[in-house]
Chains A and B, each alone.
Chain A
């Protein structure tokens, strides 16, 4: 590849549309929300306005976010996201491994099957899940045949976490697959030949070598889980709000965009911290080699 400096006209021709696109539809709105998060609703004729804002009035929205109710919902969100991510990893790792060890001609089909659900809208898939898990759904009908149930599944915490795993599992499998596929199998043979047990080989060779895929998968699952509101809304019971639901309420029913913006940026800050930790970890592990 040529250096961009040696052919700057071509570079700018190619880069300008994307840059303008990002600027217009990503950075400007984001900057607007950031400004809004430090703003408050304006006072017009002594009445708090519905649509107008006083900009840059302070950090009141962020202080308001430090409140036991918000924190408790936030911790719930972290906990559920962590559980869902762990479940995705435990389920996704063996699946990714087995795809890698399939005959080569079957692999594209297997990967297609993993990606297939993305062709259907998330909301529709969630509705489908609701039907399957409902009191008169397929699962309970099957359980009924063997004399169990009906088991209450919709409206529970388990249903929300199951929904998260169901939706985000492909995001775990795909990076794991691409890492495991590139794994040099001769390391595994060497380890086994030199007397390590299967478990030791997995623990000391396979797992560290596939760690980049694990980290990517964990990030790709954990971060979208943090912002999710639709699944908790549809599958959860009365104690199902995640931080995404709080934010959604601010932009919807509560009509409090400044507070909603502040919550979003607090969430984004947390996400950035996670990413920086990952970057730090990867740099450190590179340095160790």
Chain B
């Protein structure tokens, strides 16, 4: 979930953030930089998004203790670091956030010389448009956003139509809770580009989303898989790996990438600006791209790994799982989310507010 632990009032949180921004410059003087780095690492990650034993293995191998904090979505990660890095070393930003955070000097360039396991990464991932030459980030996992559904209730979930434009499943649908994926799905269903900034296209998407609202039960902040597993909904817009995780426990659940196309994304691993332990951070990143560690992570979280050496030693159940590796012809219709600039995001946010108001 996106919100916030503690405090009933909005105001105090805002004030703390404001004061954080004001006083960030006074704190975290680099006295630690003078001596060798302490054996600590602070890792900021999504929930259920690292190998079951990876952190313990890393500590066993290096003596570096890892503290992992969790965020619910990329927006939370961005917001937390925007007011000044509260002490995180390694973070997991999505492709569009890499672009945005690099522009805002919120992440630091990686020293590829300290990460020899880069050799294990599939070369196809080494020069993406959002981070040319992989200056700031390395590919952690990739995947798609699509439809998780209950096969016995929904015979055909091959199109966004079942979620956005079909009364059959009214009240049995959950969507992700952010503007990008909702507007993006509506645009794709209407035949437009995922990153469209054309106001007419966006307005059509807005009308579609408002009309679809009466059939939607919940905008779920990345817990649609739970709602699906518990039988609260029969259709949910979700990340493929989240559905793959529950498919392993419930045979009646399946995943499809709609034929109109969808969002393909890449979560990356990067080092936050102001990281207290940059050396340890490089060591950790190198550890993650080790062949066996990469395999263990992919086995636990069931997302597609760009770690070629790790993928080669995975079993067929993983390599042949269409929920993890969708058919190439459908993947060809999927698009990365681009960083559209602050003005274009404002337009989309106003559309999203209108959907919430309706």
**CB within 8 Å of B: which residues of A?**
24-26, 28-30, 32-33, 41, 47-51, 67-70, 72-73, 121-123, 135-136, 155, 167, 224, 227-230, 233-234, 237-239, 241, 244-249, 251-256, 260, 264
> Among the listed B14, B343, B350, which residue makes an inter-chain contact with A251, where contact means beta carbons less than 8 Å apart?
B14
8 more A-B contacts (CB under 8 A) besides A51-B104, A229-B3? A32-B18, A33-B15, A41-B342, A135-B230, A135-B232, A248-B10, A253-B2, A255-B82
Q: Tell me the bound Cα distance from A51 to B78 in angstroms.
A: 11
Nearest B residue to A27 by beta-carbon distance? B15
Contact A69 B350 (CB under 8 A): yes
Residues of B within 8 A of A136 (CB): 230
Contact B11 A155 (CB under 8 A): no
B112 in contact (CB, < 8 A): no
> Among the listed A29, A67, A230, A237, which residue makes an inter-chain contact with B218, where contact means beta carbons less than 8 Å apart?
A237
Residues of B within 8 A of A69 (CB): 350, 353-354, 356-358
Q: Mark B212-253, 1 if CB is under 8 A from A, else 0.
A: 010011110000000000111000000000000000000000
Contact B349 A253 (CB under 8 A): yes
Query: Which residue, A51, A255, A260, has most C-beta atoms of chain B within 10 A?
Result: A255
Beta-carbon contacts under 8 Å, B1-51 to A: 1-11, 14-19, 21-22
Say yes or no: A245-B356 contact (C-beta < 8 A), given A51-B104, A251-B17: yes
Contact B357 A224 (CB under 8 A): no
Contact B217 A70 (CB under 8 A): no
Contact B14 A33 (CB under 8 A): yes
Nearest A residue to B82 by beta-carbon distance? A51
Contact B349 A249 (CB under 8 A): yes
Can you name 27 A-B residue pairings with CB atoms under 8 Å? A26-B15, A41-B342, A50-B104, A67-B350, A73-B353, A121-B5, A121-B6, A135-B230, A224-B8, A224-B9, A227-B9, A229-B10, A230-B8, A233-B2, A233-B3, A239-B213, A239-B356, A239-B358, A246-B356, A252-B75, A252-B76, A252-B79, A253-B2, A254-B345, A254-B349, A255-B78, A264-B11
Contact A48 B11 (CB under 8 A): no
Contact A255 B342 (CB under 8 A): yes
Question: Min CB distance, A98 to chain B, in Å?
Answer: 27
B117 in contact (CB, < 8 A): no
Contact A70 B2 (CB under 8 A): no
Number of A-B contacts (CB under 8 A): 135
Residues of B within 8 A of A135 (CB): 230-232
Nearest A residue to B103 by beta-carbon distance? A50
> Among the listed A29, A123, A230, A253, which residue makes an inter-chain contact with B22, where contact means beta carbons less than 8 Å apart?
A29
Residues of B within 8 A of A51 (CB): 82, 104
Question: Min CB distance, A237 to chain B, in Å?
Answer: 6
Contact A253 B178 (CB under 8 A): yes
Contact A122 B346 (CB under 8 A): no
Residues of A within 8 A of B79 (CB): 251-253, 255
Contact A238 B218 (CB under 8 A): yes
Say yes or no: A248-B3 contact (C-beta < 8 A), given A73-B357, A122-B8: yes
Contact B346 A254 (CB under 8 A): yes
Question: Min CB distance, A126 to chain B, in Å?
Answer: 10
Question: Min CB distance, B86 to chain A, in Å?
Answer: 16
Contact B22 A241 (CB under 8 A): no
Q: Tell me the bound Cα distance from A238 to B163 in angstroms.
A: 14
Residues of A within 8 A of B19 (CB): 24-25, 28-29
Q: Tell me the bound Cα distance from A252 to B178 in angstroms.
A: 11
Residues of A within 8 A of B230 (CB): 135-136
Residues of A within 8 A of B6 (CB): 121-123
B100 in contact (CB, < 8 A): yes
Contact B357 A48 (CB under 8 A): no
Residues of A within 8 A of B216 (CB): 238
Residues of B within 8 A of A72 (CB): 357
Q: Tell me the bound Cα distance from A252 to B349 in angstroms.
A: 11
Residues of B within 8 A of A70 (CB): 353, 357
Question: Min CB distance, B194 to chain A, in Å?
Answer: 17
> Among the listed B3, B217, B231, B353, which residue makes an inter-chain contact with A238, where contact means beta carbons less than 8 Å apart?
B217
Nearest A residue to B100 by beta-carbon distance? A50
Residues of A within 8 A of B73 (CB): 253
Contact B357 A241 (CB under 8 A): yes
> Among the listed B4, B178, B179, B353, which residue makes an inter-chain contact with A230, where contact means beta carbons less than 8 Å apart?
B4
